[in-house]
Chains A and B, each alone.
Chain A
Amino acid sequence: MSNFYLNRRALLGLALTSALPVGSVWAAGQPLPVVASFSILQDLTRQVGGDRVSVSALVGPDGDAHVFEPTPQQARQLQQAKVLVANGLDFEGWLPRLKKAAGFQGQEIVASQGIAVRSLPKGQGHDHGHDHGAGKEGHDHDHDHDHGHGHHHGPNDPHAWQDVKNAIVYVRNIAKGLAKADPANAAQYDKQATQYIARLTALDASLRQRFAALPAERRSVVSTHDAFGYFAQAYGLRFVPVRGLSTESEPSARDLAALVKQVREERIGAIFVENISDPRLLEQLARETGAAIGGRLYSDALSPDGGPASTYVDMVETNAATLLKALQAR
């Protein structure tokens, strides 16, 4: 009788201890919770982290990081995350406040660390202050969703990811950061990063080659948002930025007239609509100048799943194809 009793105890103890290895395997199997500030960084982080990480984005696909207002759920998400991937270069003006509000204790990766920063030419449209040019209704409604838009970008152009070579730096930074937060999987991160960087290198070379083939006088394009500075610099294009035709500020007749004049004089053939701006002004422009609306460029956000730009690589390819098509067609 006593033997059986002891045996039962022993059995119980065995059963319990056997849970330990299972438990630790299970714990080790939980993906690392990561929060990325916007969809492009989310994609890059996924590429590096694979199934070892679970990445959510604060500003989702088609979202505008300039007018972002976080929800309480997102603050909670950030609080529970171990790693935060942000762009830096003042792109996410709302982030410091959100981090503080959420009490984020984890590790922050600044993806743009180490790149050659491009400064914005004077007078270009990133002075998105709080005075929305569209006046009152902008004001009143911002007071309603009062989360501090803070879209002052400062003098630096934050859209570094548009140059694929910079994206490679991003990936390296992300890999390094993930490895630091989750050393157990460091080798895997490194491996996946290397694979992805190879892809990006090939992409970069392909772009250079294709754009180099364009004749010199066919490299100008109008875009509403000066988000393509790095792209232009890298691949030899000229993006004519239009001040005041973005979502935040209201245009003046002078700005619009200057743009019309320029488009007419330089015979720019294509105007590009962004996925975060008012299409009607651009239609007006196209109507006035006879230029074609060249299609959609993705600047600050990926498209939703199923769209043509749902990953970073797709986004770059799509943008390149759209641009080339418009520039070659003339």
Chain B
Amino acid sequence: MIAELLWQPFVDYGFMRRAFAGCLALSAGAAPLGTILLLRRMSLVGDAMSHAILPGAALGYLLFGLSLPAMTIGGLAAGLIVAMLSGVVTRYTALREDASFAGLYLISLALGVLLISLRGSNVDLLHVLFGSVLALDDPTLYLTATIASLSMLGLALVYRPLLMECLDPGFLRLQGPMGSISHALFMLLLVLNLVGGFHSLGTLMAVALVVLPAASARFWLRGVGLQMALSTAIAMAGSLLGLLLSYHAGIAASAAITLSLGCLYLLSLCLGRLGSVRAQRQRPANDSVSEPMGVSE
């Protein structure tokens, strides 16, 4: 009975196995990035970046058709250009990072829509451009796995300066350019994961896997490294749950996975160890040290 519920679907159907493999790979790459995003208060950047990538992927499609490398490179280029320009605008004008990024990603999105509409055919290209978790073919699977590996490697490289830059940017600035380099690399990894995620899992899921597990992990563990590990685990668990939900209840796959992740997030929000609704209520009344949420113990 349990077997039928839990792993029979994966035994019987190849597409379920591939879907899960793809989710595992993307979880490994994206979830740790999400932890950093949360720490740097850039959670919405993930979603905005997913829109910024559009014209690049559209251009790749226009020029080369449904080619994985073309759309990946195009999306990557678009995302990086937006990130770079946003940094430039922040440095040389009065706008702060959030506003400069917001302005640029909207322009990028509009360009993407324009490019798509130029093609003439009325086919909803977005569904063609961006994948579905149930339609993972070999090249896409390899791409996702490669991106995950690169991500983990890259993150290991810039882990320390990234945290330092978030924690005490003034200090790091004195030591050299390591701060901005690591920030740039981080954005690169983020864009890479998003682009890879689009191909394999669609835009909704790619961003969901970045943000939701990390937000959930925040309520259970405090250490950054531990949060990363936990968020990866939550991402994988959510993917499994979602796939099973899609299988047994007939819900669209990426929505099911995102909903599962969302439920795990809500559970953490209410019942987590640190800074959740339950934890806040259990705090002693005369707690004089005022701690921000998610940190007090």
A–B direct touch, CB within 8 Å, in complex? yes
Q: What is the interface of chain A, defined by CB distance below 8 A to chain B?
A: 59-60, 62-64, 67-69, 132-138, 140-141, 144-145, 244, 247-257, 260, 276, 278-281, 283-285, 287-288
Asked whether A278 and B127 contact (CB < 8 A) given A253-B253, A255-B250, the answer is yes
Residue B113 interfacial (CB < 8 Å): yes
Stretch from B14-22, B142-150, B225-233, B274-282 forming part of the interface with A: B14-22
Asked whether A144 and B113 contact (CB < 8 A) given A137-B202, A253-B134, A254-B246, the answer is yes
How distant is B139 from chain A, measured CB to nearest CB, in Å? Answer: 11
Report chain B residues within 8 Å CB of A280. Answer: 131-132, 135, 137
A253 touching B123 by the CB < 8 A rule? no
Q: What is the interface of chain B, defined by CB distance below 8 A to chain A?
A: 9, 12-16, 18-19, 50-51, 66, 109-110, 113, 117, 120-124, 126-128, 130-132, 134-137, 202-204, 207, 243, 246-256, 258
A250 touching B132 by the CB < 8 A rule? yes
Q: Bound state CA distance, A140 and B122, in angstroms?
A: 17
Report chain A residues within 8 Å CB of B124. Answer: 64, 67, 138, 247-248
Q: Of A69, A141, A253, A288, which contacts B126 at CB under 8 A?
A: A141
Report chain A residues within 8 Å CB of B126. Answer: 134, 137-138, 141
B14 touching A288 by the CB < 8 A rule? yes
28 inter-chain pairs at a CB distance below 8 angstroms, sorted by A residue, are A59-B122, A60-B120, A60-B122, A64-B121, A67-B124, A133-B255, A134-B254, A135-B258, A244-B252, A247-B127, A248-B124, A249-B252, A250-B253, A252-B249, A252-B251, A253-B253, A254-B250, A255-B250, A256-B13, A257-B12, A260-B13, A278-B128, A278-B132, A280-B132, A280-B137, A281-B132, A283-B137, A287-B14
Q: Of A64, A135, A250, which contacts B123 at CB under 8 A?
A: A64
Report chain B residues within 8 Å CB of A278. Answer: 127-128, 132, 135
How distant is A299 from chain B, measured CB to nearest CB, in Å? Answer: 13
Q: Bound state CA distance, A244 and B109, in angstroms?
A: 27
Q: Of A138, A244, A254, A255, which contacts B127 at CB under 8 A?
A: A138
Report chain B residues within 8 Å CB of A288. Answer: 13-15
Report chain A residues within 8 Å CB of B131. Answer: 280
Q: Of B121, B203, B204, B258, which contacts A62 at CB under 8 A?
A: B121
A253 touching B243 by the CB < 8 A rule? yes
Report chain A residues within 8 Å CB of B132. Answer: 134, 250-251, 278, 280-281
B252 touching A145 by the CB < 8 A rule? no
The residue on B at minimum CB distance from A285 is B15
Report chain B residues within 8 Å CB of A136. Answer: 203-204, 207
Instruction: Indicate the member of A67, A244, A280, A281 with the most B CB atoms within 10 Å.
Output: A280
Given contacts A62-B123, A253-B134, A287-B137, 19 further A-B contacts (CB under 8 A): A63-B123, A67-B124, A134-B132, A134-B204, A135-B204, A136-B204, A138-B124, A140-B51, A144-B110, A244-B252, A250-B202, A250-B252, A250-B253, A251-B134, A252-B256, A253-B16, A256-B15, A278-B135, A284-B137
Report chain A residues within 8 Å CB of B121. Answer: 62-64
Report chain B residues within 8 Å CB of A145. Answer: 113, 117
Report chain A residues within 8 Å CB of B136. Answer: 284
B255 touching A247 by the CB < 8 A rule? no
A252 touching B113 by the CB < 8 A rule? no
Report chain A residues within 8 Å CB of B130. Answer: 134, 137
Q: Of A141, A249, A276, A284, which contacts B134 at CB under 8 A?
A: A284
Report chain A residues within 8 Å CB of B123. Answer: 62-64, 67, 247, 276
Q: Of B134, B203, B243, B247, which contacts A281 at CB under 8 A?
A: B134
Report chain B residues within 8 Å CB of A251. Answer: 132, 134, 252-253
The residue on B at minimum CB distance from A287 is B14
Q: Bound state CA distance, A280 and B67, in angstroms?
A: 12
A252 touching B137 by the CB < 8 A rule? no
Asked whether A254 and B15 contact (CB < 8 A) given A64-B124, A137-B202, A137-B204, the answer is no
Q: Of B120, B204, B246, which contacts A253 at CB under 8 A?
A: B246
B128 touching A252 by the CB < 8 A rule? no
B247 touching A254 by the CB < 8 A rule? yes
Report chain A residues within 8 Å CB of B109. Answer: 144
How distant is B213 from chain A, measured CB to nearest CB, in Å? Answer: 18
How distant is B116 from chain A, measured CB to nearest CB, in Å? Answer: 8
How distant is B9 from chain A, measured CB to nearest CB, in Å? Answer: 7
Q: Bound state CA distance, A1 and B252, in angstroms?
A: 94
